[in-house]
Amino acid sequence: MKWTNEEVEILKQYYDKASMQELLIILPNRTINQIRDKAHCLKIKRKKKSIQDYKKTFWRKVQIKTKNECWLWKFSKLKGYGTFWCFNKRIRAHRMAYILKYGSISNDLFVLHICDNRSCCNPFHLELGTHEDNMKHMKDRNRAAKGSDNGNSKLTQKQVQQIRNRYNENKIDLAKEYDVSFTTIYKIINNKTRYDDNYKVHNLWATNRKLTKEQVMEIRQSNEKQSINEKQSILAKKFNVDPAIISSCRLNKTYKDIME
């Protein structure tokens, strides 16, 4: 449908002032895409909003009290933090509160709650900090989920202990049994994840050799003969050792005394 002169004049007058919902009301025969396309043809641009343009809307969503009390966010939340929509993206409400009060901040800085109340938007209860500060802040207040309490954890503490007790078994088999990756098994056994002060890491490399001279030769020859093309995991399972031992053997990092 062709645009009338009256519609064009209305678009020119209100495009940079009215919201899209308001434009749809005053231009009932047009869709949002038609309005945008016509504005583009006429080279009309909407006025870019500044952070302060959101000020009135933002503070209406906050339960403002005295300076010493928490100012709770009254609308949508994510994991306890208030969320506010601006510049076509979601921002945490307490971060927005800090910006409105003190000005813009670097993206690599965090806004931390002194009051330890995620929903609080009182600027006087907020301070800037680095990622390390944020982690320390969580640890000091014992808010960081640990071990099986972490929602992303697939293993219980009992299973972790079982894996550590079976440190000398094939790690691929353990990974399949507990439905986790080989890396997870490796990190648990070496105390790199699910850290335990009382757990003593076993030096697997100090144990007796698990490969015979013939097996070492076979592993190294399989590396040269491309037609064999045996994968590292298959060789590890065949000789009942870790894939890391196979890799080191193939690269001649271990069993250096065994020569062809």
Mean pLDDT of successive 10-residue stretches along the chain, which has 260 residues: 90 83 88 90 81 86 93 90 87 94 89 90 93 77 51 74 84 85 84 76 57 82 53 80 80 72
Could you give phi then psi for residue 176, rounded to 5 degrees? -70, -40
Q: What is the pLDDT at residue 207?
A: 45
Distances (CA, A) of 79 to 73, 83, 95, 153, 200: 13, 10, 15, 18, 36
Give the CATH number of domain 52-140; options: 3.90.75, 1.20.950, 3.40.50, 2.30.29: 3.90.75
Domain positions in the chain are 5-41, 52-140, 149-205, 213-250
CA 207-242-235 angle, 5° bins: 125
Token pair listed for 119:
């929903």
- DSSP secondary structure of 157-188: HHHHHHHHHTTTS-HHHHHHHHTS-HHHHHHH
Number of helices (H), then strands (E), in the chain = 12, 7
Quick one: DSSP state of residue 120? B
- C-alpha 100/C-alpha 119 separation (Å) is 17
CB 109 within 8 A of CB 134: no
Residues 191 and 156: their CA atoms lie apart, in Å, by: 15
Locate 17 and state its tokens: 């002032």
Q: What is the pTM of this model?
A: 0.44
Q: Token match 């500044």: residue?
A: 50
Which ranges in 125-231 belong to alpha helices (H)? 131-140, 157-165, 171-178, 182-189, 213-224
pLDDT at 141: 64
pLDDT confidence of residue 49: 73
